[in-house]
A and B are shown apart, each in its own frame.
Chain A
């Protein structure tokens, strides 16, 4: 085995006071390349070691500011230049609305940059081949002892004088720590030119293929056939119409499928005259009418349309539907009430389709007839 190379002389102390006194002494004697190790952060150690203020704050400042400016610029470009849309009557570049976003991204970029810079730039992690790793010294200072370690690289380093210094400071133990020869000579396979070339080739092939497929191949015949459609897209400019709008209003009088417009809005009496019940009375229609009546009408009017529901007394009382007035109304007149509502009764047009409304009217006629039977019904 060849000669080992010295990394440092390291001393172990029993108390934090001793080690910070030692650090002060080491600084005083002009050593620059040394470090203190302790199981936990020691208050006042920075000043004992005469460390300059950390530069980490500048990383936070620079990244925070660039995050802030970048976000502002991109918000401005997106909402005022590239795709200007007026939102909520605010100006295109509405600064107050951006402040929360700018604030969040400033904090995010500053904090992420700070953590990454701390770990990888200031602490130089990962550093698995550090000579202090796995030494007896490191085991002690990471459990219950305090250590100081002066590196051999230091211009003032001299084995005899450092040993003497540690002894004068009443160090408990002194270790000489050596570089691990194996670590020093070890070549990481990951840095071999062959492997790096291989990575480059893979990167170029995969990204080139992706680029070619997505940006070139898709625009070649026959792959672009689906794209080439002579139709008008939403919000596209039209060359056919003189006003240039691609999106057109429907022709006047257009009726949507399965939907009948109601022509008698606000004119219940006209509706009563002109509307005719198109659903003939049948068992199915009456069954449907009963189901819908029990769901939507009975909560107020009662199951028998007598106005005797459980809501009686809590609201203006719902009327009985057996009155002379309602019985003498035509089906169309009742339909107008169901469609538009009346007094505090709301419109049921959204809950009941047109056919269901007629079915409810058919069922109501049955209820009315049951309470006001004619003599002919008995025969």
Chain B
């Protein structure tokens, strides 16, 4: 508390991490390519899970950075670079959506509706291949623009220490909020809800949003804690800052459960066949156990694990729960997607493993790439000192 200047000495990440990332990426890539050769349809479904998962972390992290600027939060300032690095995953999103755009006919049956299918014919002005591709590309470009300006200003501040850059970023962040809300909702509708195009749920965009923010927080936590504990970030960060991460994770776990249950309750109560069919597909055969597992892994474990105050400040415990949450979001996307591919029978094999392994490798490599060029802490940010001194 006594020193008035920030001591930051940049340390390179160990080379071992890069090897791990490289291995994961290669193994995953081989599995994915093999999958596309052996069973393109099934792999394309997995590709949707992979794309939405990576979009969750990338765009969600940018949201996390923007919300820090908007709220004027100080506790998260020492950790902001982690969020910025993770949001650079936006750049590599095309790696995952271009193979999908080439395989659209395999997964989206609205691309070739039967003429007698009145619902799909009526939805055709929105759900058609051209407009779909336009939306995907426009959303990606929008994210990219906001990503570019926010991280550019933040990086510049390390050298110039210009406080006006913070003000500029606050304005950009304010613009990003409505863009984020709309793009993330329509991404959910386009990629996930349109897998069952006869079905609809008005809360679906919020459902994906809750998972997005939760995952971005969990991913940031998984990077922040080891980095901070091993001294890659600045000195003097107290466990009280971890508490804020834990509290946010806890809050969004509850938010996800609230939204998921709201969606379920209304459909269960009204009991209309055209709505219940979606939940029925996730309750038939052994999908039933996957549905119950979702409740356990996405709500019960994080809820009980984060309920008490000490557990939010214990780095080891927080790291475990954050990993569970990250896994739970992938599990959630699997639960949303795969019942459309295989009805009544859980589909799980080596094809399902390809994308998670590849994505883990991608995240690690992108993160390392960004750390080489930039400081791991925004040393020019005027809020940094207060952020380090943050106490509950």
Contacts and interface: CB of A to CB of B under 8 A. Distances in A.
Partners in one complex: yes
B72 interface: no
B95 interface: no
Contacts of B4: none
Contacts of B310: 53
A43 B265 contact: no
A5 to B, nearest CB: 38
Given A43-B391, A43-B392, A44-B391, A57 B308 contact: yes
B5 interface: no
Contact of B271 (A43, A47, A88): A88
Contact of B265 (A44, A57, A89, A99): A99
Contacts of B309: 53, 57
A227 interface: no
B348 interface: no
B269 interface: yes
Interface in A92-113: 96-97, 99-100
B131 interface: no
B271 A89 contact: yes
B289 interface: no
Contacts of B268: 96
A332 B164 CA distance: 88
A347 B264 CA distance: 41
B311 to A, nearest CB: 11
A268 B147 CA distance: 74
B265 A100 contact: yes
Nearest to A17: B1
Interface in A56-87: 57, 61
Nearest to B264: A96
A57 B309 CA distance: 9
Given A43-B392, A53-B309, A57-B309, A88 B261 contact: no
17 contacts: A43-B391, A46-B392, A47-B391, A53-B309, A53-B310, A57-B308, A57-B309, A61-B307, A88-B269, A88-B271, A89-B271, A96-B261, A96-B264, A96-B268, A99-B261, A99-B265, A100-B265
Contacts of A46: 392
Contacts of A89: 271
Contacts of A44: 391
A162 to B, nearest CB: 27
Given A43-B391, A43-B392, A57-B309, A96 B265 contact: yes
Contacts of B392: 43, 46
A44 B264 CA distance: 44
Contacts of A97: 265, 269
A50 to B, nearest CB: 15
Contacts of B271: 88-89
Given A57-B309, A97-B265, 8 more contacts: A43-B391, A44-B391, A53-B309, A57-B308, A88-B269, A88-B271, A96-B264, A96-B268
